[in-house]
C-alpha cells in the first residue's frame, strides 16, 4: 500500500510539472518586467537630480563671481 500511494503521489507530481513550470516562468517574467520599470524610474529620477545640479552649477556659479569659467565648474563636479 505504501508503494502504491508513493507511486500515485509521484505520478501527480510528474503530471503537475508543466503547469508549475509555466506558473514559475510567468512569475519570473512578471518580476523581470517590474524590475525593468523600477530601473527606469530610478534612472529618470537620478538623471533629473544630477542634471539639475549641473544646470544650477553652470547657471548660478558664473553669476556669483565674474572670473569663474565653465572649466572650474566642471572641475567641481568631477571632484
Q: Could you write out the DSSP letters of every residue in the chain?
A: -HHHHHHHHHHHHHHHHHHHHHHHHHHHHHHHHHHHHHHHHHHHHHHHHHHHHHHHHHHHHHHH-TT--HHHHHHHHH-
- What percent of the chain is modeled with pLDDT above 70? 77
User: For all residues of the chain together, what is the average pLDDT?
Assistant: 80
Q: What is the pTM of this model?
A: 0.50
Taking residues 55-60, what's their average pLDDT?
71
Question: How do residues 21-51 score in pLDDT, each as one tens digit?
Answer: 899 999 999 999 999 999 999 999 988 888 8
Amino acid at each position: 500500500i505504501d508503494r502504491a500511494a508513493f507511486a500515485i503521489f509521484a505520478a501527480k507530481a510528474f503530471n503537475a510539472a508543466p503547469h508549475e513550470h509555466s506558473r514559475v516562468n510567468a512569475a519570473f517574467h512578471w518580476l523581470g518586467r517590474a524590475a525593468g520599470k523600477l530601473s527606469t524610474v530610478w534612472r529618470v529620477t537620478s538623471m533629473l537630480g544630477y542634471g539639475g545640479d549641473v544646470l544650477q552649477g553652470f547657471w548660478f556659479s558664473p553669476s556669483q563671481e565674474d572670473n569663474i569659467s565653465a572649466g572650474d565648474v566642471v572641475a567641481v563636479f568631477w571632484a
